[in-house]
Structure 1
Amino acid sequence: MKAVQGLLFDLDNTLMDRDATFRSFSRQFVQDLLGHLDENEAALIVDDIIVRDADGYRDKDGFFAELSEVLPWQKPFPAAEIRSYYDLTYASHGAVMKHALEILEYCRDRGYLLGLVTNGGKDIQNGKIDLLGLRGYFDTIVISGEVGISKPDPDIYKLALKRLGTTAEATLFIGDHPVNDIWGAAAAGMDTIWLKRNHALDESLNVQPAATISELDELKNII
């Protein structure tokens, strides 16, 4: 591994355990809005919502419209109201990924410049970052909804590098998504570390991470 000055991290399913977060949100959603269901029915609906969500890579408007149509409401519940409920409550369910705070402390103590690059709305992503206590670890935070560029567009990584004050050659990107994190960061000139979560690497992308990990604390053996 070449000399590294900076580290850029993804948020969802890298530093935030999105699986746990979305399941917790879905349970509250069903409890609050579909309270007429019995326990077994509610559990099945939670599982169905999680499948339909596709790990967060659904278009939100389409996802909420689908839930409005297919869930067993007692009375119609418009997609706009589901969106409002989501915006008000989702961030409060944020769960930090195992070893995330430990590894951020480790990296900061060793003098690395640290940045966060995440897709999503400004308010939702900032809410997660603050709830999880992550903000103080980072020298820069780049949110797609705030800057008008989304991963995997190489320009969002280049913006993060500029704000961080490092070069692509001296910076690693750590994330879970093969396209948004591994391919996109590589297209911006960075080496990457892939945190294996819910997505398989797509060999057709012709990009390989410099290293693959299953838990964040494995970074200690790499950097």
Structure 2
Amino acid sequence: MTEKQALLFDLDNTLMDRDHTFRSFSTQFVKDFLGHLAEDEALLVVEDMIVRDADGYRDKDGFFAELSEVLPWQTPVSAADIRGYYDQNYSGHGAAMKDAVEILDYCRERGYIMGLVTNGKKDLQDGKIDLLRLRGYFKEIVISGEAGISKPDPAIYRLALDRLGTSAEQTLFIGDHPVNDIWGAGKAGMDTIWLKRNHPWDERLDVTPWRTIDELDELKQIL
């Protein structure tokens, strides 16, 4: 394998602990909008929101419309108002993944060029990156909402490589989603490391990760 000079990371559920973030957001949302519920009822609504969110892979407009219809409101709240609340508050609940900052420091000390590729709206993803104080680690940050291309389209990875100034062979991609991260980056010619989180591997995929890890600190042994 070609010696790697650069590392590209995914954000949500790779460097940012999205599970923690969405649960924290949902808990605050239920407290703010459904304060009339008993504590056990409120907890059930939080769990229901987590299931309906499908790890963030739901269309957001559809998700908010569904919440507007099904949640046990005292006073109904529109999908547009839920979106407004989400856009204003979600990023503030962000938490770094276990070992994320330590591993970024480790990689920077060893001279790797680093970049980030993430799907989402620019202002929302920027808010997460800045809350977690990650921006300074990356030479380039590519956000789908700004680029006009989304993962797993290999073009978004090629855009990131162009901006980093490295080839696919020189660059390693680390992410949690089998299709959006591992398949997409693989189709762009990169070796990949799959961080196992909420998504099982799809055996139908014609790309496989070079390595599989359960925690980010395992990168130290690999790199």
TM-score (norm 1): 0.99
Question: In structure 2, how many angstroms separate the alpha carbons of the residues matched to 1:201 and 1:3?
Answer: 27
Shift of 1:76: 1.4
* Alpha-carbon RMSD: 0.6
Report Cα offsets for 1:33-64 as digits up to 9, x if no partner. Answer: 11110100000000000000000000000000
Shift of 1:2: 3.1
Residue 169 of structure 2 aligns to a residue in which SS?
Answer: helix
Question: In structure 1, how many angstroms separate the alpha carbons of the residues matched to 2:21 and 2:218?
Answer: 23
- Structure 1: gaps (5+ residues): none
- Structure 2: gaps (5+ residues): none
Question: In structure 2, how many angstroms separate the alpha carbons of the residues matched to 1:98 and 1:165?
Answer: 29
> Residue 117 of structure 2 corresponds to which residue in structure 1?
117
Aligned residue type for 1:103? I
- Superposition pairs of residues 131-142 of structure 1, within 5 angstroms: 131-142=131-142
- How many corresponding residue pairs? 223
Report Cα offsets for 1:58-88 as digits up to 9, x if no partner. Answer: 0000000000000000121100000000000
Report Cα offsets for 1:115-140 as digits up to 9, x if no partner. Answer: 00000000000000000010000000
Q: For the Cα contact (< 8 Å) 2:187–2:207, is it kept in 1?
A: no
> Residue 175 of structure 1 corresponds to which residue in structure 2?
175
Report Cα offsets for 1:140-181 as digits up to 9, x if no partner. Answer: 000000110000000000000000110000100000000000
Residue 73 of structure 2 aligns to a residue in which SS?
Answer: coil
Deviation beyond 6 Å, 4+ runs, structure 1: none
Report Cα offsets for 1:91-121 as digits up to 9, x if no partner. Answer: 0000000000000000011010000000000
> Residue 24 of structure 2 corresponds to which residue in structure 1?
24
Identity over aligned pairs, percent: 76
Aligned residue type for 2:217? D
Residue 204 of structure 2 aligns to a residue in which SS?
Answer: helix
> Residue 147 of structure 1 corresponds to which residue in structure 2?
147
Aligned residue type for 1:98? K
